[in-house]
Amino acid sequence: MAAAAAVVRAWRGARLSAAALLALLALALLALTAGRGGGGSGVGQPGSPPPLLPPGLREELRQRRHDLRRLEAAAGGGEAATGGLGCGDLSLATGVSVLGWGFTKVVARAALAGGDAVALKSVHGAGREVRQCVQRYGAPAGCRRLAAYKLLKEVTLLQRLRHPGIVQLHGQCYDNSGDPEIRVTAMLELGSPLEMIQLLQTPWEERFKICLSLVKLLFYLAHSPLGSIVLLDFQPRQFVMVDGNLKVTDMDDASTEELSCKEDNDCTLDFPTKSFPLKCSAVGKCEGINEKKNLFNAYRYFFTYLLPHSAPSALQPFLSDILNATGDLRYGINETLNAFEKVLHLYKSGLYLQKRPLLLKDYVSLKGFRMVEREDYKCWPSYSHLGCLLSVHSAEEAAAICNSQSQCQSFIITQQRTWTGRPLASFQSSLTDLIPDASAVVYVKRSASSGERL
Residues acting as catalytic residues: 233
Pairing label, strands 117-123, 169-175: unpaired
Nearest CA to 73 out of 286, 253, 184, 225 is that of 225
Task: Say whether 5 sits in a helix, a strand or coil.
Answer: helix
Q: Which segments of 178-267 are extended strands (E)?
A: 183-189, 192-193, 230-231, 239-242, 245-248, 254-255
Number of C-beta neighbours around residue 183 at 10 A: 22
Distances (CA, A) of 308 to 216, 302, 303, 430, 433: 19, 11, 8, 32, 37
Nearest CA to 102 out of 267, 238, 301 is that of 238
Distances (CA, A) of 46 to 60, 83, 114, 215: 14, 20, 32, 35
| Buried residues in 30-62 as b, exposed as e (16+ CB within 10 A) | bbbbbeebbebbbbbebeebeeebeeebbebbe
In this structure, what is the dihedral angle of CA atoms 430, 435, 436, 438, given to the nearest 10 degrees? -60
Check if the beta carbon of residue 72 is closer than 8 Å to that of residue 158: no
At how many degrees (to 10) do helices 289-298 and 316-327 cross? 130
Q: How far apart are CA 219 and CA 158, in angstroms?
A: 17
- Cβ burial, residue 196 (10 Å; 0-12/13-18/19+): middle
Q: How far apart are CA 285 and CA 255, in angstroms?
A: 14
Q: How far apart are CA 47 and CA 145, in angstroms?
A: 11
Residues in the chain: 454
Number of C-beta neighbours around residue 212 at 10 A: 18
Check if the beta carbon of residue 275 is closer than 8 Å to that of residue 294: no
The continuous run of DSSP H or E covering 403 comes out as: helix 395-404
The 8-class DSSP code of residue 420 comes to T
Q: How far apart are CA 169 and CA 84, in angstroms?
A: 9
